[in-house]
Chain A
Amino acid sequence: MLMTRGMRKFFGLTVLISWQVHAQQEGGETFFSNRPPLPETKIDQLVLSKLKRGGFQLQFCTDQVFLRRAYLDITGTLPTADEARRFLEDKSFNKRIKLIDTLLATDAYADYWTMKWCDVLRVKAEFPVNLWPNAAQAYYYWVRTSIRDNKRYDHFVREMLLANGSNFRVGAVNFYRAIQQRSPEGIAATVALTFMGARTDLWEPTQLQNMAVFFSEISYKPTSEWKEEVVFWDPNQIFHSITNPALQTAEYKKRGKALLPDGRSVKLPNGVDPRAVFADWLINEKNPWFATLYVNRAWGWLLGRGIIHEVDDIRRDNKPGNMELLKYLSADFIRSGYDMKHTLRSILISQSYHLSSIYEGAQEQELIPLFACYQVRRMDAEVLIDAINKVTGSTELYTSAIPEPFTFVPANQPAVALPDGSISSSFLELFGKPARATGMDNERVNRYSDTQKLHLLNSSHIRDKIEKGSNLTPIFGSKMKQPQMIDELYLTVLARYPTKDEVASINRYVTESKLSLRDVGIDVAWALINSDEFVHRH
């Protein structure tokens, strides 16, 4: 039986260990343990102590589960077989923290977290936001540089809010172009969603009209270069509200003040860009939305569910699952100088992040909102295809249908690092790459569907990768004995060694199927890639 208690120890196993030895470790646990792997942090006092008081039995993930989880959540990639061996054999007590710090410093981290931000910021050349390819590239480059350099979050946002200049040269101005409805209200609604987690559709109409005033002096003008557009502050711009034609800039100018989303009124001095007045209010430690939204996103993106659910739906009547935690993380984020990586790291090194996804004696629906277990989630479309390519050693073709001539990208390009939402593949479309139409978090749906399953189980696309990929074929074709081959396949695909039960199942398959060792290898690789353990974060 797989799930008996007692920690399975991989420490001390050497690279050349034979399969019999560790297969005999069976009886230990593959997926969870009840020994906390790290010291408690402030976050744990706010999350776990509450749970313990509630009588929950906490279970933590094993090293092998953590290894894969950390790679996927921090970098959107999988460890190689060698990286897996090295980590599993590392005996140091703080190896999990060392791994977290190593991964947070990689380029892959920058690529993956840039992708998340590009969903929110709608970085896409074509329909429906229509940025145009050069502008999407400039926007992407600006976002990626900001994430790679761990730019202060307050600066990151302020640069976008106050951006002026050419869409090809100043990446951040594209924030104001990646909006389907380019009216002051359309812009205000997007700003509210993106930086406040506020859905203005739920507001009183006047509240949005009031906020729109701050974005009423943005102008767009073309240049002589094809599709170049300059976004700039134009104090003479006349504001026409769509929803209330009686509202005009002159009206506000006369009053010399405007109403902020929290209902307070603020001066709009002549000669000052009203966006700056808004930014000063938004980017402020007293603002109830600003830091809250970032830490809620960070938590939700790592753990699968925001402290406020959904991550970008912050409003009074949508209560956070753990108010103290939210308050602590926000205050800590502000204290750190809006250091995005600091917040991620604080979460990653807390025991709360190291909980097992396997639980006993309680309902999942009850546990997930309390963060009493790690939520099992299908990998993002981009992460999944990159994982399949990495373990099999194959590549993918990404194209953009427009503009002609068609855009082609290098063969070894990871999907996670695609700079433009219009560049895609049929796999990405099938597995729910978001349309980047609204910037809402729920645009990305990672639900496993029948047709997705069909594709992974039986498409020529995936079969070719397994049978011809440069990473797996050497394993099938090698002179390795069957046990070694199985070890290699497990380390390559699942970043762990097989259990005794699994080895027994494969031996049975060899006898029953009468296939050649190569075909057995192919079928085992196929089964592992199709296993829930591979396809999900867990």
Chain B
Amino acid sequence: MQRKKYNAYGITRREMLASGALAAAGVVLGGSPLSASAQALKKAAKAKSVIQVFLWGGMSHTDTWDPKEKAGYDYTGQFDKVIATNVSGIKVSSLFPKLAQQADKYSLIRSMTHRNNGHETAAYLMQTGHQPGERLAYPCVGAVFSLMKGYDAGYKGLIPPYVVLTRPQGRFSESGFLGNKYKPFATGGDPNAERFEVEGVVARGISDGRQSGRRKLLGDLNSLATAMPGNSAVLNSKAAEESAYELILGQGKDVFDLSLESRELRKEYGLHTFGQECLVARRLVEAGVPYITINYPGGWDTHANHFDTMNKQCPQLDQGLARLLQDLEQRGLLESTLVWCCGEFGRSPKVDWQPPWNGGRNHYGNCFSVLVAGGGFKGGAVVGESTERGEEVARRPVYPVDLLGSIYTLAGIDMYAKLPHPMGLEAQVLPQGDEVKSSGLLEEIM
């Protein structure tokens, strides 16, 4: 068989003509289609903050937002029920009754694809847009925001510009070659606990009076600093101390204080870690933080025990995320707050009933789903389509650069902006060139 000839967008000419997807998406062949459409979409830039809900491990797409209820028991297992949403024609799995009632606020991408089935490599692709295996690791979206929307860009907030609730991903260095300065601030603690003890900000059992006393004592005993007041390391340390105390003793810590919210609202978000994380995320948005990542507290890597895990986790995801979208809208923040939610890949549509999995699903990067909302994304739409059993993209593939490029564009970040490279090489936010698979920004929902 003759090797298929792929064009710059990773699909064959035949597929392209057959689908008409590119024409529909307004992609111009030749030149740089993504950047051309990004130019046109600049007006759409509305997102001041981004909330990323990362479902690490990879959440099944067919059991959730791209249900294939007629695929048969070997595919659906016990999840063969779908429910209507508040947008006619869009159905989701019955595991998401609350999100179903908010479908007008978000869009579902059902044709996300990168064909990579390794956790780290797929997570890297989904969060940087770059192929793994280059000499230097690229920064993930949050770190790029930290660079482009953070202190270097005039951000003045007390809270660091890139916050992770509550633990860092650890699968790869989030800031890549940008280095430490752009790493996220990981809160630690549990917002569902009696008191959300944000690591470093809120300390248990130390009064503000003792904090102030200690600060003075530290100044008095900091003899080396006294002996060399002009030293750059000492000056840098002093500046860091001042910022830290603005959080510890200033108003910064109130942002994390959930007792300032009504009991009722906390209940509606869900009295579990994820629900309260969503509430903290909203408070961070109100405080002007440009990028917030919620690393889902619990993995979605359901090789085994898949159905039990889904039955436990989906209702919490449903409750927290649905209330967050509703709350953002009620407060007039949805327009300026972009929310995106997905894992590094989906899970194999066919259930693996063999031991040792006994009813599990494996890694699946060929086709999966993403939820996007707000910040300039339209709600109530579905982008793309998967095949009958959710195994492949049937229409309108969405590649990582398409999704991330759309997010950057809506936040007013040039997706091909140069990044400071440690060796002075050319490096840009998203990759460009013939080998980069793309089928255009998500213009249909922007």
Contacts and interface: CB of A to CB of B under 8 A. Distances in A.
A378 B221 CA distance: 18
Interface in B196-254: 197, 199-201, 203-204, 206, 210-211, 213-214, 216-218, 220-228, 230-234, 236-237, 240-241, 243-245, 247-248
B24 interface: no
Contact of B217 (A458, A524, A533): A524
B228 A531 contact: no
Nearest to B189: A460
Contacts of B203: 458-460, 463
Contact of A453 (B170, B171, B241): B241
B233 A181 contact: no
Contact of A532 (B201, B224, B422): B224
Interface in A198-214: 199, 201-202
A463 B204 CA distance: 10
Interface residues of B, number: 67
Nearest to B230: A364
Contact of B172 (A127, A499, A524): A127
A448 B237 contact: yes
A424 B231 CA distance: 31
* Residue among B167, B168, B201 with the highest chain A CB neighbour number at 10 A: B201
Contacts of B104: none
Contacts of A457: 200, 241, 244-245, 248
A453 B243 contact: yes
A435 B224 contact: no
Interface stretch (A168-176, A264-272, A327-335, A501-509): A501-509
Contact of A181 (B134, B167, B210): B134
Interface string A425-466: 010011010010110101101011111111101111101000
A364 B232 contact: yes
B433 interface: no
A453 B237 contact: yes
A512 interface: yes
A377 B233 CA distance: 7
A530 B200 CA distance: 13
Contact of A438 (B136, B167, B170): B136
B218 A527 contact: yes
Given A457-B248, A505-B220, A527-B221, A535 B133 contact: no
B328 to A, nearest CB: 26
A532 B213 contact: no
Interface stretch (B92-100, B178-186, B369-377, B398-406): B178-186
A508 B216 CA distance: 11
Given A127-B120, A199-B423, A426-B168, A2 B133 contact: no
Given A426-B188, A505-B217, A527-B221, A461 B199 contact: yes
A300 interface: no
Given A199-B423, A453-B237, A532-B233, A128 B172 contact: yes
B199 A126 contact: no
Contacts of A499: 223
* Residue among B120, B197, B233, B424 with the highest chain A CB neighbour number at 10 A: B233
A99 B374 CA distance: 64
B160 interface: yes
A408 B121 CA distance: 23
Interface in B104-136: 119-121, 124, 132-136
Contact of A451 (B121, B185, B224, B424): B185
Given A448-B233, A450-B160, A532-B234, A31 B227 contact: yes
B255 interface: no
A183 to B, nearest CB: 11
A536 B221 contact: no
B174 to A, nearest CB: 9
B16 interface: no
A378 B390 CA distance: 52
A181 B245 CA distance: 45
A180 B137 CA distance: 10
A180 B233 contact: no
A199 B136 CA distance: 13
Contacts of B423: 199, 201-202, 440
A215 interface: no
A181 B133 contact: yes
A97 interface: no
Interface residues of A, number: 73
Contacts of A455: 199-200
Contact of B244 (A424, A447, A453): A453
Contact of A533 (B170, B216, B223): B223
A357 interface: yes
Given A461-B199, A524-B221, A201 B425 contact: yes
Contacts of B192: none
Interface string A355-366: 001110000110
Contacts of A323: none
A450 B243 contact: yes
A30 interface: yes
B132 A127 contact: yes
B181 A502 contact: no
Interface in B55-81: none
A397 interface: no
A536 B238 CA distance: 13
A383 to B, nearest CB: 15
Contacts of A378: 233, 237
Contacts of B133: 128, 180-181
B227 A3 contact: yes
B185 to A, nearest CB: 5
Contacts of B120: 126-127, 402
A250 interface: no
A31 B119 CA distance: 51
Nearest to A190: B135
A523 interface: yes
B313 interface: no
B237 A532 contact: yes
A448 B240 contact: yes
A376 interface: yes
B326 interface: no
Interface string B256-300: 000000000000000000000000000000000000000000000
A167 B265 CA distance: 56
Contact of B124 (A127, A201, A202, A459): A127
A513 B213 contact: yes
Contact of B240 (A127, A435, A450, A509): A450
B173 interface: yes
A460 B199 contact: yes
A189 B134 CA distance: 13
Contacts of B204: 460
A38 interface: no
Interface string A502-528: 100110110011010000000110111
Given A127-B172, A454-B247, A531-B218, A513 B210 contact: yes
22 contacts: A2-B226, A3-B227, A180-B134, A359-B228, A364-B230, A426-B167, A426-B188, A429-B183, A435-B137, A435-B176, A437-B136, A438-B136, A445-B180, A448-B236, A448-B240, A449-B181, A453-B241, A458-B203, A459-B203, A505-B217, A515-B210, A528-B221
Interface of A: 2-3, 30-31, 126-128, 180-181, 186, 189, 199, 201-202, 357-359, 364-365, 376-378, 401-402, 424, 426, 429-430, 432, 435, 437-438, 440, 442-443, 445, 447-455, 457-461, 463, 499, 501-502, 505-506, 508-509, 512-513, 515, 523-524, 526-528, 530-533, 535-536, 538
Give 4 closest A-B pairs by Cβ, nearest first: A454-B200, A505-B220, A533-B224, A453-B240
Interface of B: 119-121, 124, 132-137, 160, 167-168, 170-173, 176-177, 179-181, 183, 185-186, 188, 197, 199-201, 203-204, 206, 210-211, 213-214, 216-218, 220-228, 230-234, 236-237, 240-241, 243-245, 247-248, 422-425
Given A31-B227, A180-B133, A505-B217, 4 more contacts: A365-B232, A424-B170, A426-B168, A451-B160
